[in-house]
């Protein structure tokens, strides 16, 4: 829903606003670039400008441009809006026209904000704007004002020489503009958690380079296909980024671990995985590794076992889902479109020993594993190939 003759999208950010002025400017420029990339990827004609202390997209298809904005990291909300001169006459005219088109009875309110030099205040906008709405519809309806919880809210944001009139504030993902952090390698399996973890890292501004470990006979085509499919959904959020999957063959390592290591096998596999990820990270200039691990989710993810594999690599391992409950991860995965039937017994589950250790020590893990585990990981990482990933189509 938008005012007649809407020609812009008012974009609001959140955490960027608490930075110092110079950092904020740099991040807003980044956000503007990201918005342009989303518009381009969807073939939307629009011009992104930093003006009047806000980011504004000037576009004729404001619905499509708003949808692009609310899929952009760093955006807290976006409103398809009509831009008018910052005068009470222009604002009330736009409100009256909007009311004639969109008010169909019920309660209404005018929510006005103002920044800059004007000879009126936000209260004046509220009062005169409310009056204009009332007069525009009173012949056909019995309008009622409710400022606390109206059925229809007329938003006005008056900033310096321009005012934006709108009806909706649509939620974006929040977070920070993508590219305001150094990149991370994301270990993405065919499971539920890792795509959500990767998305959360992206949401905080870190581009990710997806790494998938092909587990050979322990994985299978369906496992890999699922991993690639989830990355296609992530790619939608990062249109100007390389999200091609770096595929590392781990079949040989997995077979050797299966044959040689008993109840600390999964922990040695973790160490192998981290090491391979670190090797890729060093190559692509990433500064950390993201996983979908959460405390207690599996025996390999007890706090004790996380301690046992800590220090396996020099780079930090980021676990955005550390404290999340499974149901919350599933809800988020459904939201992102990355949720798939996870009842399939694939991947690491096939490698797990019957009695996995739940509180191993680092020494015990290292003592039980092949001496050349890290050389194997390095060689596998160096021999990786690339699976090209096309972003999923965005629904119009």
Ligand X SMILES: Nc1ncnc2c1ncn2[C@@H]1O[C@H](COP(=O)(O)OP(=O)(O)OP(=O)(O)O)[C@@H](O)[C@H]1O
| The one among 62, 136, 206, 215 contacting ligand X by CB under 6 A | 215
392 is in an annotated binding site: no
75 is in an annotated binding site: no
Binding footprint of ligand X, residue count (CB under 6 A) = 19
Compare residues 77 and 230 and give the one whose CB is closer to ligand X: 230
* Residue 163 or 317 having the CB closest to ligand X: 317
61 binds ligand X (CB under 6 A): no
Chain positions 269 to 288 lying near ligand X, rule: CB under 6 A, are: 273
Please say which residue, 72 or 300, places its beta carbon nearer to ligand X.
Answer: 300
Residues 6+ apart with CB under 8 A from 71: 38, 172, 173, 236, 237, 394
Residue length of the chain: 396
Nearer to ligand X, 6 or 273 (CB): 273
Binding flag, residue 66, ligand X (CB under 6 A): no
**Least Å from the CB of residue 305 to ligand X:** 11
Q: Note whether 157 binds ligand X by CB under 6 A.
A: no
Secondary structure of 142-204 as H, E, C letters: CCEECCCCCCEEEEEEEECCEEEEECCCEECCCCCCCCCCCCEEEECCCCCHHHHHHHHHHHC
Q: Are 261 and 268 in contact (CB under 8 A)?
A: yes
Helix (H, G, I), strand (E, B) or coil at 288: coil
Pick 127 or 350: Cβ nearer ligand X: 350
Considering only CA atoms, which of 5, 87, 71, 61 is closest in space to residue 37? 71
Report, in Å, the least distance between residue 236 CB and ligand X: 18
What is the 8-class DSSP label of residue 391?
A: P
Q: Which stretch binds ligand X (CB under 6 A): 54-62, 209-217, 358-366, 371-379?
A: 209-217
C-beta closer to ligand X: residue 69 or 211: 211
Q: Which of 28, 71, 128, 193 forms a contact with ligand X (CB under 6 A)?
A: 193
Q: Tell me if 86 contacts ligand X by CB under 6 A.
A: no
* Per-residue mark of binding to ligand X, 285-324 (x: CB under 6 A): ------xxx---xx--------------------------
Least distance to ligand X, CB of residue 347, Å: 4
**336-375: which residues touch ligand X (CB under 6 A)?**
347-348
Annotated binding residue at 270?
yes
* Cβ proximity to ligand X, 330 vs 392, nearer residue: 330
Instruction: Give the residue, chosen from 66, 194, 305, 338, that forms a contact with ligand X under the rule CB under 6 A.
Output: 194
DSSP 75-133: EEEEEEEEEEESSHHHHHHHHHHHHHHH--SSEEEEEEEEES--SS-HHHHHHHHHHHH
Q: Does 212 bind ligand X (CB under 6 A)?
A: yes
Instruction: Looking at 261-360, list the stretches that DSSP marks H as alpha helix, in order from N- to C-terminal side.
Output: 265-284, 303-309, 326-336, 348-351
Minimum distance, C-beta of residue 291 to ligand X, in the bound complex (Å): 3
Least Cα distance to 130 among 158, 147, 110, 107 occurs for 110
Q: Which is nearer to ligand X, 27 or 184 (CB)?
A: 184
Beta bridge partners of 212: 247
d(CA 287, CA 136): 58
**8 A C-beta contact, residue 172 and residue 76:** yes
Query: Which residues are within 8 A (CB) of 125 and not within 5 positions of it... i.e. 6 or more apart?
Result: 88, 91, 110, 112, 114, 156, 158
184 near ligand X (CB under 6 A): no
For residues 208 and 185, the answer to whether their CB atoms sit within 8 Å is yes
Handedness of CA 109, 115, 117, 121 (dihedral sign): positive
Q: Which residues are annotated as a binding site for ATP?
A: 187-188, 270, 292, 301
Give contact residues for ligand X (rule: CB under 6 A): 187-189, 191-194, 211-213, 215, 273, 291-293, 297-298, 347-348
Q: Which residues are annotated as a binding site?
A: 187-188, 270, 292, 301
């Amino acid at each position: 829903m938008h005012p007649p003759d809407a020609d812009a999208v008012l974009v609001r950010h959140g955490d960027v606003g608490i930075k110092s002025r110079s950092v904020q400017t740099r991040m807003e420029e980044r956000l503007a670039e990201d918005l342009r990339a989303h518009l381009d990827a969807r073939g939307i004609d629009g011009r992104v400008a930093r003006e009047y202390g806000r980011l504004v997209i000037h576009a004729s298809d404001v619905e499509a441009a708003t949808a692009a904005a609310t899929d952009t990291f760093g955006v807290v909300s976006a409103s398809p809006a009509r831009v008018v001169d910052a005068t009470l006459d222009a604002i009330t005219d736009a409100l009256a026209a909007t009311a004639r088109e969109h008010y169909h009875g019920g309660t209404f309110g005018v929510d006005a904000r103002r920044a800059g030099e004007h000879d009126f205040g936000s209260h004046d906008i509220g009062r005169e704007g409310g009056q204009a709405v009332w007069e525009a519809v009173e012949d056909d309806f019995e309008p009622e004002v409710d400022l606390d919880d109206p059925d229809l809210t007329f938003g006005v944001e008056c900033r310096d020489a321009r005012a934006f009139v709108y009806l909706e504030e649509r939620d974006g993902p929040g977070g920070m503009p993508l590219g305001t952090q150094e990149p991370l390698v994301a270990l993405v399996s065919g499971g539920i958690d890792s795509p959500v973890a990767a998305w959360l890292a992206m949401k905080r501004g870190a581009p990710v380079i997806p790494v998938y470990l092909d587990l050979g006979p322990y994985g299978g085509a369906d496992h890999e296909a699922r991993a690639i499919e989830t990355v296609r959904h992530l790619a939608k959020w990062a249109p100007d980024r390389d999200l091609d999957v770096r595929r590392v063959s781990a079949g040989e390592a997995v077979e050797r671990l299966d044959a040689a290591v008993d109840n600390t096998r999964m922990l040695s596999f973790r160490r192998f995985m981290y090491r391979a990820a670190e090797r890729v990270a060093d190559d692509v200039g990433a500064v950390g590794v993201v996983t979908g691990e959460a405390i207690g989710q599996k025996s390999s993810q007890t706090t004790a076992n996380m301690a046992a594999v800590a220090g396996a690599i020099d780079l930090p391992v980021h676990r955005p889902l550390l404290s999340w409950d499974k149901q919350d991860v599933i809800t988020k995965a459904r939201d992102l479109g990355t949720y798939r039937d996870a009842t399939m017994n694939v991947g690491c589950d096939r490698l797990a020993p019957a009695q996995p250790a739940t509180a191993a020590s680092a020494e015990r893990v290292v003592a039980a594993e092949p001496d050349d585990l890290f050389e194997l990981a390095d060689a596998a990482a160096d021999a990786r190939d690339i699976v090209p990933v096309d972003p999923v189509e965005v629904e119009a």
